[in-house]
Amino acid sequence: MEKNKYVPRVNQIDAIYLNKDIARLIRDNLLENLQAISPVLFIKIQPELDLLIQSAIWFGSVGKRCSTFGQQLLVLAYDAEKLTVSRLVLHFILTVLPGYVKSWEERRLTRRVEWFSEAITWVENSALILNILNYFRFLKTGRKPTLVDYLLGLDYISLRNNQRRDIGYKYLTRELLWGGFMEILGLVLPIINFRKLQRLLKSWTFGGAISGRRLEDRDGPAFLAPQMTLSTTCTFCGERPTLPHHMGCGHIYCYYCLNANVLTDASFCCPKCGSACPESGIQSV
């Protein structure tokens, strides 16, 4: 395949994140199975297992094909002309061994050596600062995205002629349609009076009378005192009343059920007897 030295920045960054994800998946699966077999042995040799797994990944990718697994997925590779044996050795040392040294220092040293721990901390902080500086340099030049690549002078190359990034608009169109639908729902739903619809649906389903007449306009007693017992339930929700209230018809509601219905539905009336809320409003039991 023909190589091309132009590689978009986004492809190089994608390759780095793919490398991390692939290594994490392989490592987690293997270590999880080994831990299930022998947890005690796993704890003792975990740094060596990490080193073995990272070494196997490196030899199966960079050592064998001059490209990481993430680069292979994006049809990229290191420039083989620059990847000499000495640079391969240095690449292995700079990418695989630091993690083992850090893990070894944390788990193997029974008595922490102060100068050794301080040296590791200083190296980590220095590498972090250099990585940040190198990232800004990469954004400007578009070459050598990692600090290791910069130190070894390694460039990414593309193994395909078409350098255009493949973009599919199917997902974007679906997201735009779904986003528009959600905006319509957000605009329409607050306008709909669900409590009134629920009341009407209950009356049509269970045949409840909805007369809408106020107690003052009815013949007979204008006010019926409710009686609260141990078996009393809310007329609206059917549960034990919370903060029992009524509207003069003798039926008891939860405060939240009754007040919410009265505030959202001016024509709300008792589902059992059809009495409308009096002008004096709801009252506590």
Interval 54-63: pLDDT, tens: 899 999 898 8
Please tell me whether residues 119 and 22 are part of one structural domain: yes
pLDDT at position 90 is 92
Tell me which residue range forms the domain holding 81: 9-163
Same domain for 38 and 145: yes
Confidence band, pLDDT 50/70/90 cuts, at residue 112: low
**Of the residues 114, 146, 163, the one at which a domain ends:** 163
Q: Is the pLDDT of residue 204 over 70?
A: yes
Band of residue 136 on the pLDDT scale cut at 50, 70, 90 = very high
- Indicate whether 129 pLDDT > 90: yes
| Per-residue pLDDT reduced to its tens digit, 219-255 | 545 567 778 888 889 988 889 888 898 888 888 899 9
Query: Which residues neighbour 19 within 8 Å (Cβ) at sequence distance 6 or greater?
Result: 68, 69, 70, 71
pLDDT tops 60 at residue 163: no
242 and 116 in a common domain: no
Rg (CA), the chain: 36
- Examine residue 210 and state whether it is found in any structural domain, yes or no: no
Contacts 24+ apart (CB under 8 A), 208-212: 208/271, 208/272, 208/274, 209/273, 209/274, 210/269, 210/274, 211/269, 211/274, 211/275, 211/276, 212/267, 212/269, 212/274, 212/276
Contact between residue 216 and residue 234 where contact means Cβ atoms under 8 Å apart: no
Per the domain annotation, does 128 fall within a domain? yes
| Distance separating the N- and C-terminal Cα atoms of the chain | 86
Residues 120 and 63: beta-carbon distance below 8 Å: no
* Span 88-108, average pLDDT: 81
